[in-house]
Amino acid sequence: MEIAQQILFAIVLGLAAWLMARRIGILRKTIRLGRPEDRTDQPAERFGTMLRVAFGQKKMFDRPLVGIMHFILYAGFLLINIEVLEIILDGLSGQHRMFAPFFGSAYLYLLGFFEFLAVGVLVVCVFFLLRRDVVKVDRLQASRHREMKGWPKLDGNLILIFEIVLMIAILTMNAADSVLQDMHSEHYTQTGSFLFSQFLKPLFAGWSEPSLIVLERGAWWFHIIGILGFAVYITYSKHLHIALAFPNTYFARLIPKGKMHNMPEITKEVKIMLGVEQPDPNEVPAEIGRFGAKDVMDLSWKNLMDAYSCTECGRCTTACPANITGKLLSPRKIMMDTRDRLEDVGRNMQANGGTFVDDGKSLLGDYIVEEEILACTTCNACVQECPILINPLDIILQLRRYQIMDEAKAPGSWNAMFGNLETSQAPWKFSPADRFNWAEGLK
């Protein structure tokens, strides 16, 4: 019987590993569709940023209460996996609590710490669920933000319910284990009662030994299959940020937020026109395929990683002045639309042997519309707010650059401003000689 369980566990573990590897491969391929961009400079500063923002949750503590609860959830997720490691080794070896002999009396305190984290995760998940569906925090409501309708709202609720159930399963497993220890049941190592699950023991006081074994083994299987299923599920969910927050913050831009990336080809032409730089007569003119970005393939790989890393928390949209005043723009939706396009591209590649076949769609036009990108004031509020240093503005600017420079679809008022900049070196239509008339009479 034990050998059969070991074989079944190995099959379940192998299947989960295969599904994860397959999904990670697709994510990697779609991210690599983006344009190359060097983000390997200043490794020490990048590593420090990752430690502060991703590992230390620095920006989450801008709102202390939510920050503390999120840290409990995050720490619990990381550290409880040490117990999951024991469960996996138990499943493969056919043993039960194989770490207990190595840790001795400290094992009971270690499990108590894990149960403390489990209860903390359970309480925080209940609080967050109530916050989403009873208190109805505005930035998470589909009635206020159209991008939160359907799957995004359901996804947020599912993951919280899933974690609550998993924490109940591990506490139930430990409680049943403790009762079986009291019965001196075979294979159940004497460790003593655990910190929190001991309070559940009265629920199983009248149960027979076979019934308790079924309960304990059932909770064990449910917990480990749930953990493996959770690991696969998050690769399809917004909760992919659990893993991607680390590389995403490491590769975040280190230059000031307000500094825009100029196109080298255009910058060179402007400098030549102004006489700042002289043309090289022997240089072959570079061929410019496209100004800005029309589809995800025109964005950089970091833009695409940003899209997959988005937590959909909505802090960016809440801070966006365009959104606050009723404009169509939502920085969160920009990131979600970019991810949706990437998902469609990934499915396209899967269906065509790993090669993308033109489907007649593009990010600009089919997912993100003109009105959204034109509403952006480039104030960087969305960039400042993001807890994992995502940059929606960079995507907006590249889409807008394509629309204006490649498609020549700038609004009339913008064209007038561009003309004034070209002729008068200012957005307003007056002579450069009159530029400082406003200062007359000032002391």
In which residue are the tokens 């590992």 written?
55
pLDDT over threshold 60, residue 17 = yes
List strand residue ranges (DSSP E) for 100-169, in order.
none
pLDDT for the residue 103: 83
DSSP 8-state assignment for residue 35: B
pTM score: 0.87
Q: Dump pLDDT digits (tens) for 292-322.
A: 899 999 999 999 999 999 999 999 999 999 9
DSSP 8-state assignment for residue 37: -
Report which of 2, 27, 183, 185 is spatially closest to residue 92, judged by C-alpha positions. 2
Give the whole-angstrom CA distance, residue 255 versus residue 271. Answer: 22
pLDDT for the residue 346: 92
Q: Dump pLDDT digits (tens) for 363-408.
A: 999 999 999 999 999 999 999 999 999 999 999 999 999 999 888 8
Q: Report the chain's mean pLDDT, rounded to a whole number.
A: 88
Domains delineated in the chain: 2-250 (1.20.950), 264-279+289-425 (1.10.1060)
Give the whole-angstrom CA distance, residue 81 versus residue 224. Answer: 10
Buried b (16+ CB within 10 A) or exposed e, 251-285: bbeeeeeeeeeeeeeeebeeeeeeeeeeeeeeeee
In degrees rounded to 5, what are phi and psi of residue 368?
A: -115, 130
Around Cβ 85, how many Cβ atoms within 10 Å? 11
Q: Is 239 helix (H, G, I), strand (E, B) or coil?
A: helix
Residue of higher predicted confidence among 280 and 55: 55
DSSP 8-state assignment for residue 263: P
For 417, the token pair is 């401003």
pLDDT over threshold 80, residue 415 = yes
DSSP string, 159-194: HHHHHHHHHHHHHHHHHHHHHHHHTT-TT-------
Around Cβ 400, how many Cβ atoms within 10 Å? 22
pLDDT over threshold 70, residue 286 = no
| C-alpha distances in Å from residue 225, one per residue of 86, 91, 238, 380, 434 | 14, 11, 21, 43, 74
